[in-house]
Amino acid sequence: MKTIYLLIVLLPLLGAAIAGFWGGRIGRAGAHWVTSLGVGLSAALSLFVLGRFIWGDAQPFNESIYTWMVSDGLTFEVGFLVDELTAMMMAVVTFVSFCVHIYTIGYMADDQHNWPKESLAGTHSYQRFFSYISLFTFSMLMLVMANNFLQLFFGWEAVGLVSYLLIGFWSVRPSATFANLKAFLVNRVGDFGFILGIAAVAMYFNSLDYVEVFEQAKDPALGFADMQIQIWGDASWSLMSVIGILLFIGAMGKSAQVPLHVWLPDSMEGPTPISALIHAATMVTAGIFMVARMSPLYELSETALTFVLVIGATTAFFTGLIGLVQNDIKRVVAYSTLSQLGYMMVALGVSAYAAGVFHLMTHAFFKALLFLAAGSVIIGMHHDQDIRNMGGIRKYMPITWFTALLGSLALIGFPGFSGFFSKDAIISAVSHSEIAGSGYAYVLVVLGVFVTALYSFRMYFLVFHGDGPRDEHAKAHLHETPKVITVPLILLAIPSVFIGGLTIGPMVFGDWFANAIYVLPQHDTLSQVGYTGVMGFVQHGFMTAPLYLALGGLFVAWFIYMQKPELADKAKQALAPVYTMLDKKYWFDEAYQTVFAGGSRGIGKLFWFVGDRGLIDGLAVNGSAKTVGWAAGIARQVQTGYLFHYAIAMILGLLLLLTWFVL
């Protein structure tokens, strides 16, 4: 099996290297073939691995590949832990990545137009793009397959690197290079917490190996749950809360949770395929995966869980609201992603890790689908992304329309669709939670369902229904995109509809994750939901509020945007302050720009001009140089030019020194 796991990881890397280093030689077709083949094989092998877990008798695999370093008794390794959780993640990552590779062949076909004519960076941009997305697949696989914190951090930063490279892919655009720097730095704020969390684990568990750490955490005799540490003065902190919160700060960066969410909407500057792959389906879910993987640690601290829950619920609701006022098709989907990531975090916060990971999976399919469909629309509209200019596209792009409809229904949790199962599982789990903050979270996630349906179908109706695009020229050229684009849409639409109902039983309410996820009995909210099979779950859905809220949102969207378009403007005027607040995204960007970006430059200038140049150089160095110069002016009188004068001076000096030391 080790060979298979190595192949799964290394094939995408190989493809990336070939397309990246020899892109000019192998040409465009060579690049997309070699990378798609690498990722395709990797996906096939991942599905094989997953199949062995489902139908075979595969046991969790935990082995080191090589020892990175040994220092002071602490072993740093590179190795794989493949259990049910990892196998599921591998399958999702490689499958979505494969779809995106195929899609990219169509989407980036005319990329040379995005570059200045004489730009040499533009000559092989197509090959470079394939290289990057394959490199991303490698990095993400390293992240999910890690069996230790070192490799987790490696994967964590490597996906961040590729995200940086891809957001800024069209490096000639100032907005793109602004967005990628912002994304990297905000992620680094998260990583700052993350690395401290890893340092804490390394110190108190004296190991970086998952299994070794988790075994210690689960052992009540070692008493990690009650361990206290001092950080500031004499105040005691629960060790596990500190570790949990520090690690979670990393997840807040990567999974774009409030207040570190600001980078994700801007990341839409990148080409759409990577918005689907990296900024919706996979990389941004790394934080959710990480917390689920660390469930043995999080279970020991209700404080940390509450922290996760409150941050998640806040993100889920308040970023969803922003989605209501966005007019850029990709940004609507981006805010929807933020909101859905919040839902997943909420699930983790109430110890329903399985439900969080389950939503991660369904969301990966339907959100990748929605992004790719949006990309298809964008191509049809000749790169106009404003949904107010669209409309009626249903008639011109039937496959895009229908798959987007399926994706939207899955997103709002329409009964029977994948998203219904995963979202309802989360909401039910929250309703049974007794942890602090669960009341707050419950209200927000239930209200969030309405908001989700409203923004999703606002976009859906504006884009696909009503009268055709405003611009007659655009209308004349509007037609369905080629097969390389529509086939991935169909491939993703299938799981968006069916995967939820098929897998909810074993994954969420069964023992599929028994090896991977650890839940204390007193936190086990999922077992209280009372699951009685798929049909029972759907029936139960009809008796609870979220379903009607979703349908209500759908209806309101239809009513406002299809029936009474003037209502939208009236609402906007009536709620002007609220609208402004949402339009300005609660002023996070402005505040960060002023306080952090401006502030650091201010501090830098202060230190440089006042500290380095003023005090150290001006006063101390040049000041003493001047003093020496002045003293030398006097001392110059002594310089007689006679050798014996100097000799006497030297001897006297030596004598002085010696006396001082000897006495």
Partner 1 sequence: MLGDWPILSLVVWLPIIGGALVLANGDKHPESTRWTALVVAVLTFVASLSLWIGFDPGSAEMQFVERAAWIPAFNIDYYLGVDGISMPLIILTTFITIFVVVAGWEVIQYKPHVYMAAFLMMEGVMAGVFSALDAMLFYVFWEAMLIPMFLIIGVWGGPNRVYATIKFFLYTFFGSVFMLVALIYMYMQTPEYLGLSSFSILDFHRLPLTENAQFWIFLAFLAAFAVKVPMWPVHTWLPDAHVEAPTGGSVILAAIMLKIGGYGFLRFSLPITPDASMTLDWLIIAMSLIAVVYIGFVALVQEDMKKLIAYSSIAHMGFVTLGFFIVFQIGAQGIPGAALGVEGGMVQMISHGFISAAMFLCVGVLYDRLHSRNIADYGGVVHTMPIFAGFMVFFAMANAGLPGTSGFVGEFMVILASFRADFWYAFLAATTLIIGAAYTLWMVKRVVFGAVANDGVAGLQDINNREFFVLGALALAVLALGLWPAPLVEVMSATVANLLEHIAESKIPGG
* List of residues contacting partner 1 (CB under 8 A): 66-74, 115-116, 118-123, 150, 153-154, 156-158, 161, 164-165, 168, 171-172, 174, 177-178, 181, 184-185, 188-189, 191-192, 195-196, 198-200, 202-203, 206, 231, 600-601, 603-605, 607-608, 611-612, 616-617, 620-621, 625, 657, 661-662
Least separation in angstroms between residue 135's CB and partner 1 is 11
Tokens for 303? 């404080």
- φ, ψ of residue 512 in degrees (nearest 5): -55, -40
Please say which residue, 535 or 662, places its beta carbon nearer to partner 1. Answer: 662
Least separation in angstroms between residue 126's CB and partner 1 is 14
Parallel/antiparallel/unpaired status of strands 74-82 and 228-230: unpaired
User: Which residue carries 């009372």 as its tokens?
Assistant: 530
Least separation in angstroms between residue 361's CB and partner 1 is 27
Least separation in angstroms between residue 7's CB and partner 1 is 19
Please say which residue, 565 or 602, places its beta carbon nearer to partner 1. Answer: 602
Q: Are 230 and 237 in contact (CB under 8 A)?
A: yes
Please say which residue, 112 or 206, places its beta carbon nearer to partner 1. Answer: 206
Please say which residue, 559 or 608, places its beta carbon nearer to partner 1. Answer: 608
Alpha carbon distance 93, 144 (integer Å): 9
Q: Are 230 and 293 in contact (CB under 8 A)?
A: no
Alpha carbon distance 100, 113 (integer Å): 21
**Burial of 114 (C-beta count, 10 Å sphere; 0-12/13-18/19+):** middle
Q: Identify the CA nearest to 381 among candidates 360, 397, 403.
A: 397
Q: Are 487 and 102 in contact (CB under 8 A)?
A: yes
Alpha carbon distance 535, 528 (integer Å): 18
Please say which residue, 29 or 619, places its beta carbon nearer to partner 1. Answer: 619
Please say which residue, 178 or 402, places its beta carbon nearer to partner 1. Answer: 178
Please say which residue, 158 or 321, places its beta carbon nearer to partner 1. Answer: 158
CB within 8 Å of 225: residues ≥ 6 apart: 240, 300, 301
User: Helix, strand, coil % (nearest 5) of the chain?
Assistant: 75, 5, 20
Least separation in angstroms between residue 233's CB and partner 1 is 12
In one letter, which amino acid is 648?
I
Least separation in angstroms between residue 342's CB and partner 1 is 24
Element (H, E) at 474: helix 472-477
Tokens for 422? 């995963």
Q: Are 455 and 332 in contact (CB under 8 A)?
A: yes
Least separation in angstroms between residue 198's CB and partner 1 is 8
Alpha carbon distance 373, 379 (integer Å): 10
Please say which residue, 186 or 292, places its beta carbon nearer to partner 1. Answer: 186
Please say which residue, 56 or 629, places its beta carbon nearer to partner 1. Answer: 629
Alpha carbon distance 191, 2 (integer Å): 30
Least separation in angstroms between residue 657's CB and partner 1 is 7
Please say which residue, 559 or 609, places its beta carbon nearer to partner 1. Answer: 609
Cα radius of gyration (the chain): 29
Please say which residue, 55 or 232, places its beta carbon nearer to partner 1. Answer: 232
Please say which residue, 123 or 327, places its beta carbon nearer to partner 1. Answer: 123
Please say which residue, 565 or 614, places its beta carbon nearer to partner 1. Answer: 614
Least separation in angstroms between residue 649's CB and partner 1 is 16
What is the three-class DSSP state of 640? coil
79 forms bridges with which residues in the sheet? 64
Least separation in angstroms between residue 185's CB and partner 1 is 6
Least separation in angstroms between residue 158's CB and partner 1 is 6
Please say which residue, 195 or 354, places its beta carbon nearer to partner 1. Answer: 195
Least separation in angstroms between residue 291's CB and partner 1 is 20
Q: Identify the CA nearest to 148 among candidates 237, 219, 80, 249.
A: 80
Q: Identify the CA nearest to 415 among candidates 534, 574, 591, 249.
A: 534
Tokens for 437? 């903050």
Least separation in angstroms between residue 631's CB and partner 1 is 14
**Count of CA atoms in the C-beta half-sphere (13 A) of 204:** 21
Alpha carbon distance 485, 189 (integer Å): 36
Tokens for 528? 């209280």
Alpha carbon distance 580, 572 (integer Å): 9
Least separation in angstroms between residue 65's CB and partner 1 is 11
**Diameter of the chain measured on Cα atoms:** 110
Least separation in angstroms between residue 182's CB and partner 1 is 10
Helical segments of 146-238, H only: 149-167, 174-205, 210-218
Q: Identify the CA nearest to 428 among candidates 524, 342, 297.
A: 524
Q: What Å distances lie between residue 523 and 25, 170, 213, 296, 429, CA to CA?
A: 57, 47, 21, 12, 10
Please say which residue, 123 or 216, places its beta carbon nearer to partner 1. Answer: 123
